[in-house]
Structure 1
Amino acid sequence: MTLDSRPSEARTRLLTTASKIFYSEGIHAVGVDRIVAEAKVTRATFYRHFPGKEDLILAYLREVHQMDRTQVDAAIAAGGRSPVDLLTAIAAAISARIQSPGFRGCAFLNAAAEYPDKDHPVHREIVAHRQWFLDTLTTLMAQVHAATAEPAARHFVMLRDGAMAAGCLNDPALVADTFLRGIEGLLRINSERNAAESAQPVG
């Protein structure tokens, strides 16, 4: 069978349907038959676009990754803002997501719980997404305080992960506020470090 990866209404419908169910109910719990039925396509159509369920899962995660990347890249490309403002904007977008209707945590962390094998293609896709996010934050943090860019970026990711997990267990508004306060403190500390070092006399 020839795989058809071209954009099409059927492929979009399959991916949209699967993404909604995977996120709300989990990946392993959902079979191809249900996706085909809810997307209103035939099994032949499904397999024309995706050789198997794993390929659909990878497409789902890549779609989520692209949405995240587009949002971050757009903020950076807009220009005219300091690194602190950009990092604050990224945090604000995360905060808004936590408080959005139907929020059920991070799609990648949820998928990681179902695919713990580090050699599995799905797990590798998750790691690639998280590495992109960490690298992006590290680049921005380096412009706030170069010496602590890497640990500060990891701190940001950990705050984000905690907020994503708590956001579907506790009051989302309270979790989002706590997360933003944590990011604000992280950025303030590193900005003050940079200012203090810049004020020191040379030589």
Structure 2
Amino acid sequence: MAADTIRGRAREAILGAAVAEFNAHGIRAVSADRVIADAGVSKVTFYRHFPTKDDLVVAYLESELERVQRTVAEMTVADAGEGEAPGHWSAALAEEICRPGFRGCPFINAAAEYPDPDHAVRAVVARFRAWMIGAIATGLESQGVAEPARVARQVMMLRDGALVEGYVSGDPDRVAAELWAGVDALVGAS
């Protein structure tokens, strides 16, 4: 087996362990030693891939961003030809909230744990938020919504609140339905 393949597998194992631990317990509550043990790698291997825990946190958030982007791309393909299809977005939100180990939005959680706006972790959070607002605005624009950028920011705020409420209440179906009632009201008011 090639050395690059082995290194790639070690990195994937470390990142997989980090995703599971960070999603279950939060970022600050999880030590590098815990991730190393869960991944089954040595400290040398861990630090070769991630010189600091913050480097691992950035990689974790980038993997979460890629996951969300894939989900949105799949929903966009499913919505093609169906016109306005908020049910797909509502179902995706409910599915996110029902995901095993869900403790709220990983980006909101990371922003809370890394208050310095100039930190590399916050840069990934900002990139996610800008991308998500852009994706929402594009969908709203295709529906002929006036001021799609403004409404997209408002929808993002509703989404943020819905993810927190879904985690706290444990009632994803109600939260998803209420989110889309709020989105409908925003779109109708614009």
Q: Structure 2-normalised TM-score?
A: 0.87
> Partners in 2 of 1:92 and 1:7 — Cα distance?
37
Q: Residue 22 of structure 1: CA displacement?
A: 1.1
Q: What are the equivalent positions in structure 2 for 1:1-203 lying under 5 Å apart?
A: 8-78=8-78, 79-82=80-83, 84-85=84-85, 87-172=86-171, 173-187=173-187, 189=188
> Partners in 1 of 2:98 and 2:181 — Cα distance?
16
Gaps of 5+ in 2: none
Could you say if the C-alpha distance between residues 16 and 28 of structure 1 is closer, same or farther in structure 2, counting changes exceeding 3 Å?
same
Q: How many residues align?
A: 185
| SS class of match (2:103) | coil
Kindly provide the CA deviation profile for residues 161-186 of structure 1, in whole angstroms up to 9, marking residues without a partner as x.
01111111114233233223323444
Q: Residue 91 of structure 1: CA displacement?
A: 3.1
AA in 2 matched with 1:134 = I
Q: Residue 5 of structure 1: CA displacement?
A: 10
User: Identity of aligned pairs, percent?
Assistant: 37
Which is worse superposed, 100-109 or 14-23? Answer: 100-109
Kindly provide the CA deviation profile for residues 139-162 of structure 1, in whole angstroms up to 9, marking residues without a partner as x.
111122342212221121111101
> Partners in 1 of 2:6 and 2:41 — Cα distance?
16
Could you say if the C-alpha distance between residues 171 and 77 of structure 1 is closer, same or farther in structure 2, counting changes exceeding 3 Å?
closer
| SS class of match (1:98) | helix
Gaps of 5+ in 1: 194-203
> Partners in 2 of 1:5 and 1:33 — Cα distance?
24
> Partners in 1 of 2:116 and 2:58 — Cα distance?
15
> Partners in 2 of 1:151 and 1:45 — Cα distance?
46
Contact kept in structure 1, 2:17 and 2:38, CA below 8 Å: yes
Could you say if the C-alpha distance between residues 57 and 76 of structure 1 is closer, same or farther in structure 2, counting changes exceeding 3 Å?
same
Contact kept in structure 2, 1:88 and 1:184, CA below 8 Å: no
> Partners in 2 of 1:37 and 1:147 — Cα distance?
52
Greater Rg over alpha carbons, structure: 1
| SS class of match (1:168) | helix
> Partners in 1 of 2:10 and 2:32 — Cα distance?
14
| SS class of match (2:147) | helix
1:198 corresponds in structure 2 to none
> Partners in 2 of 1:134 and 1:12 — Cα distance?
29
> Partners in 2 of 1:159 and 1:109 — Cα distance?
13
RMSD: 2.1
| SS class of match (1:91) | helix
Q: Structure 1-normalised TM-score?
A: 0.82
Contact kept in structure 2, 1:5 and 1:49, CA below 8 Å: no
